[in-house]
Structures are given as structure tokens and as C-alpha cells.
Amino acid sequence: MSLVQNLIKKAFATANANEAASFLASACNRMKSHNKEQIQAEVSAALVNVNLVRISEKPPQTKTVYQDSPETLRRLKDAESLSASLLAQLREAQQRSAQGDSVETSARLQRYEKQVAELQKALNISQEMHLKESALVRSVMQREIDELKSLLNRQKESGSGQAETHQREKVELHQRLEAADELIKTQQEARYKAEAEVALLQEKLENLRADNHYSFEQCETLNARLTKTIDELLATRNTLTAHFGHWLTNK
């Protein structure tokens, strides 16, 4: 096993995220000069018999949709184990064939090659199914994300419309308040004017009352003088009547 494979295995074996990141960084640093095929070969060899399902101390509240299902991992692990076993048997058979074994060894070699080919085919099918499942999950997730974005946009538009409505209502209320203030101001001016007119009328009324009182006193004085004059005239008339009666009698 190469140093790179050992580092990758250690990264997946530890439960410490910092250690795993350190191991993977070291492995990546040592594969800088590798091409894609070489890197894939190193990683594939390192992940043989490695359980890719990480068990954390606190399980996540929601299961990520991109995580491989346990059944898929089990099938891939079994297929990889069987492939490794058959490859080992194939190499052993090839060595025996190179040493000049019998026709039986050649037939066994052909059977192994056939089994390896069938196993590789099954592994390819499993990987293809896994990719299709992942693509389907991604498609579903993308559709849900698009729906959430659309809902968020609608909520933003609705919120914007509500804000415009509130602003319009605020402006209308402000205008109504200004109109009410103007009406109150006008009413106050009218009240002040009415109070001034009432005060003027009260002053005129007092003057009229004073004039009436003066006229009444004059009337009383005149009435008394007239009464006295009438009484004097009556007394004079009576005196004259008496004198006239005496005059008639004496005549």
C-alpha cells in the first residue's frame, strides 16, 4: 500500500474532522504531479473495504439527500471485495499458467476472467444506478430549491406591495391630519370671531339697558310731575267749583 493510500484510509478511519482534513491535505499534496487517472486509481485502491458511512456523535437532524444509501454502499462494498478476491485468484491462475500448468488451469483462468467480466459489468450497472439516483435526487432538490426561490420572490413582491400600500395609507393619513388641523384652525378663528361679536353685542346690550334705565327714570319723574300737576289741577277745579257754587248761591 502506498503512502497516499494509507493517508486516505486514515482520513476515513478517524472521527476527528481536523485529522481527516490533515490526512486528505497530505494525500492531495503528494498527488500534485499525478494525472486524473492516476489519482482515481490511488483513491479507488485506498477506498477498498472502507466504510464510507461516517457515524458522528450527534446524528444530523435531517438526512442529506446526497449521501449514499446503505444498500448502495453495501452492494458496492460486496462487489469491490469480490472483485479484489477474483483478481487475486486471476493473478494466481495466471502465474500457474505461466509455469506451464495443464488445460484445467487454462479453463479455470477463463472462468475467472468471465466472472471478473460479469462482476465488472454488475459493478458498472450498480454505479450507473447510483449515478442515476443521485441525478434524480439532485433534480428533485433543484426543483424544490427553484420552488422555494419562486415562493421567496413572491413573498418579496407581496411585501413590497404591502409596503407601498402602507406608504400610501400613511400619506393619506398625513393629508387627513393636515386637513383636520386646518379645519380646527378655521374653527378656532371662527370661534374667536364669534366671541368678539358676542362681546360687542353684550356691550351694546348693556348700553341699551343703561339707556332704558335712564329713560325709565325720566318717565317716572315725568309721571310724578304729571300726577302732581293733575292733582293740583283737580284741587284747583274743586276750589273753583266750590267758589262757583257759593257764587251761584249768593247770587
Q: Where are the domains of the chain?
A: 1-51
- Predicted confidence at residue 57, as pLDDT, reads 47
- C-alpha cell read off for 57: 456523535
Average pLDDT on 239-245 reads 77
List C-alpha distances in Å: 248 to 158, 236, 242, 245: 127, 18, 10, 5
What is the C-alpha separation between 157 and 144, in angstroms, rounded?
20
- Predicted confidence at residue 95, as pLDDT, reads 72
Average pLDDT on 146-153 reads 86
- Predicted confidence at residue 73, as pLDDT, reads 66
Amino acid occupying residue 202: Q
pLDDT at 20 over 70: yes
Question: Percent of the chain having pLDDT more than 90?
Answer: 0
Average pLDDT on 3-7 reads 78
Q: pTM value?
A: 0.28
What is the C-alpha separation between 53 and 74, in angstroms, rounded?
10
- Predicted confidence at residue 72, as pLDDT, reads 64
Q: Note the pLDDT tens digit of each residue in 32-89.
A: 888 888 888 888 888 887 777 654 544 444 443 444 566 666 776 777 777 777 777 7
Buried b (16+ CB within 10 A) or exposed e, 4-41: bbebbbbbeeeeeeeebeebeebbeeebeeeeeeeeee
Average pLDDT on 226-237 reads 85
Q: Note the pLDDT tens digit of each residue in 104-144.
A: 666 777 777 777 777 777 777 877 777 777 777 777 788 88
- Predicted confidence at residue 63, as pLDDT, reads 41
- C-alpha cell read off for 237: 277745579
What is the C-alpha separation between 21 and 15, in angstroms, rounded?
11
* Higher-pLDDT residue of 182, 246: 182
Report whether 49 contacts 76 (CB < 8 A): no
- Predicted confidence at residue 96, as pLDDT, reads 67
Report whether 76 contacts 123 (CB < 8 A): yes
In a 10 Å sphere around its CB, with 0-12 CB exposed, 13-18 middle and 19+ buried, how is residue 86 labelled? buried
Average pLDDT on 178-207 reads 81
Q: Note the pLDDT tens digit of each residue in 88-101.
A: 777 776 676 665 55
